[in-house]
Structure 1
Amino acid sequence: MITVIRFFYVFLLTLLFGAGLNAQVELRTEYIGSSVFKDENNEKTEGKGDAKIFSVNARIPFSVKTDEDNRSTVWGMGIGGSYTSFNNRNMERALGPDKIVNAQVGLFHLRPIGEKWSILAMLGAGVYTGHTEVSDVQLNNVLGNGGVIFIWHLRDNLDIGLGPVINTLVGYPMVFPGIYFNWEVNGRYELKASMIDGLSVSAGMRIHENFRLNLIAELNGALALEKINDKKMMFTHQYFTAGLQPEFIINKSFSIPVTAGISAGRDAYYRERNLKSIFSESENGNPHFSAAPYFSVALKYGF
């Protein structure tokens, strides 16, 4: 499935379920260094740019009940937001907005439906804009999303899920397939991999009770919905990062992961908000920035 559709349900699945059932808050700041911009023909232009991203995500379970088989029934809420600022040079304004603000909220319910199965139901909404003025937010900037995922607990550390997910990208509800995959190996050596129509992989080892060292790879992004010349448009900013991540574990609830690596490339382009545009792909690829240095620092607190 094409990249733009991810933004309307990746948030719900990763934030509300992918990292466990406990309450958690994460603050993160990221910097993607300057690199050359390539057009839709994959040709270099005179433009260059870098990006800064600030984000906060929180997962808050309202109710957690565990049965005699250690299976949980959970009601909860997830809240997330991000601010992306661009520093582009020698480029046309038509490339995109100079900032993106995304904010989402969602409710979720997880319950077992068999010895090896659970069901996850989600309902949420988000605001995706190219400005910071709350008074300028319009219905055009709001998207609703939700879905039902059937999760198969194949092993104690391996979950696979599939189900229908709905979003209002084109102005009315449309159904897309939602995919869930989560695999964890814990101990001194740790391996985690998840795919929810996106990608997050980490492998590393716990060197000390207060220090963990990981190799990570992630896919992230943001979206702005705008009207240009009376046309409904969407601006996609998506980036793939990989690097080395030392994590300083202050106590069992609080840790500070620091990442240094590379942004292998980040898409930055406009498309119309219609079915034809969503499901079409450029023959040569999307306009994008080439590889650049990547740094991030996060504060993670669980309770």
Structure 2
Amino acid sequence: MKTSLYCLIFFMSFVFSKANAQINLKTEYISTSTYKGKDDHHPRAKGDLKVIQGGFHVPLFVKMNENNRPTAWTIGCSGSYASLGNKNLSRELCPTNILNLQIGLVHTRPLNAGWSVLATVGAGLYMDSDNLSKARWNNILGQGGIIFIRHLRPNLDLGAGAALNNTFGFPMLFPALYLKWSLDGRYEVKVALIDAIQASVGMKLNNHLKLRLMVEMNGMLALTEKEGKKMYFTQQYTVIGLQPELTLGKSFVIPLTVGIAPYREATYSKRSLKDVFSDDDETNPHFKFGFYCSLGISWRF
């Protein structure tokens, strides 16, 4: 069910973003590390990862209620390009470039004092960008979902629902979870669950600088074919790092992250429902430990 991660994480990135439009740019790098396949036939295979991504979201309509909960319509677009610097590794095992483009519409509204509902709809292009001329409808996923969110405390939201996409050639429902918890002040703790975990603990050093220890999961997806069969390739990696964040004025935020990527999965799977539930005890192909760094900028207006 990995593909639900990539579909939902885009939409959730601007949930409850209040009335501000926002533009985000980010570049990431994971150093060269050893590749481990399902067998030991590639002992010298290795590779690094370079990612450039950007996106924006714009609220079309926002109205806050007496509990400071929004009724809002928001549109967003994002794009990610990944270059995999593979060595001694064939493209049949791992592509060299991946392109993801997404557009979506999000609607959220309070149901009462304790509950809100979030609904999403959109589409994305997910493909091996070495073959842009071969882009077809098979490289496009329609996606959407609905989540009911319980506001347990002012700083704690918990929700559940379903996500929908056509990964296997027909619409299929996936479970979707939502968790948002934070403690703010000079010391802050933030935890978010959107099919993956994002967590950080940090300290506000002054009005312009914060320092955090963070853990998060990122990923990209490519819909493709191998030997005449429809496949999808998932590139999923976990990051643990130290993140200084610089705020300039009220609009610009610049996070710099330095750390490690202990595990970077890189695997093909059949676009088949039967394959999802197959019993496969073999280790998924992956790249081992690597060093990680990223630089981003966010502009709110």
| Superposed pair shares fold, TM > 0.5 | yes
In 2, Cα distance between equivalents of 1:44 and 1:215: 35
In 1, Cα distance between equivalents of 2:174 and 2:85: 34
Deviation at 1:147, TM superposition (A): 1.1
Which residue of the partner structure matches residue 252 of structure 2? Answer: 254
Change (3 A) 1:18 1:86: farther
Deviation at 1:226, TM superposition (A): 0.7
Which residue of the partner structure matches residue 267 of structure 1? Answer: 265
| 1:74 aligned to which of 72, 75, 81 | 72
Which residue of the partner structure matches residue 54 of structure 1? Answer: 52
Change (3 A) 1:287 1:190: same
Q: Describe how 1:12-51 pairs up with structure 2 within 5 A.
A: 12-13=11-12, 15-17=13-15, 22-40=20-38, 45-51=43-49
Q: Describe how 1:1-303 pairs up with structure 2 within 5 A.
A: 2-13=1-12, 15-17=13-15, 22-40=20-38, 45-131=43-129, 135-280=133-278, 282-303=280-301
Deviation at 1:136, TM superposition (A): 3.0
Change (3 A) 1:21 1:191: farther
After TM superposition, the structure 1 stretch with the greater mean CA deviation from structure 2, 84-93 or 134-143, is 134-143
Deviation at 1:252, TM superposition (A): 1.7
In 1, Cα distance between equivalents of 2:28 and 2:251: 22
Q: Any idea what the Cα deviations from partners look like across 1:61-105, whole Å, max 9, x if unmatched?
A: 111111233221001112111000011111122112210000001
In 1, Cα distance between equivalents of 2:24 and 2:280: 36
**Secondary structure in 1 aligned to 2:283?**
coil
In 1, Cα distance between equivalents of 2:232 and 2:95: 11
In 2, Cα distance between equivalents of 1:234 and 1:219: 19
TM-score by length of 1: 0.94
In 2, Cα distance between equivalents of 1:230 and 1:20: 46
**Aligned 8 A contact 1:24 1:301 in 2:** yes
Q: Any idea what the Cα deviations from partners look like across 1:225-272, whole Å, max 9, x if unmatched?
A: 112222101111100001100111111210111000000110011111
Deviation at 1:20, TM superposition (A): 5.2
Deviation at 1:286, TM superposition (A): 0.6
In 2, Cα distance between equivalents of 1:42 and 1:155: 51
**Aligned 8 A contact 1:164 1:177 in 2:** yes
In 2, Cα distance between equivalents of 1:281 and 1:247: 44
Deviation at 1:293, TM superposition (A): 0.3
TM-score by length of 2: 0.95
Deviation at 1:124, TM superposition (A): 0.6
Deviation at 1:184, TM superposition (A): 1.1
Quick one: which amino acid aligns to residue 103 of structure 1? L
Q: Which runs of 5+ in 1 are unaligned?
A: none
In 1, Cα distance between equivalents of 2:300 and 2:253: 9
In 1, Cα distance between equivalents of 2:120 and 2:222: 23
After TM superposition, the structure 1 stretch with the greater mean CA deviation from structure 2, 118-127 or 244-253, is 244-253
Q: How many residues align?
A: 301
In 1, Cα distance between equivalents of 2:285 and 2:16: 31
In 2, Cα distance between equivalents of 1:23 and 1:281: 45
Quick one: which amino acid aligns to residue 8 of structure 1? C
After TM superposition, the structure 1 stretch with the greater mean CA deviation from structure 2, 110-119 or 131-140, is 131-140
Q: Alignment RMSD, CA only? A: 1.7
Quick one: which amino acid aligns to residue 218 of structure 2? N
Change (3 A) 1:24 1:280: farther
In 1, Cα distance between equivalents of 2:162 and 2:91: 37
Deviation at 1:44, TM superposition (A): 7.3
In 2, Cα distance between equivalents of 1:74 and 1:272: 38
Change (3 A) 1:59 1:170: same
Change (3 A) 1:289 1:218: same
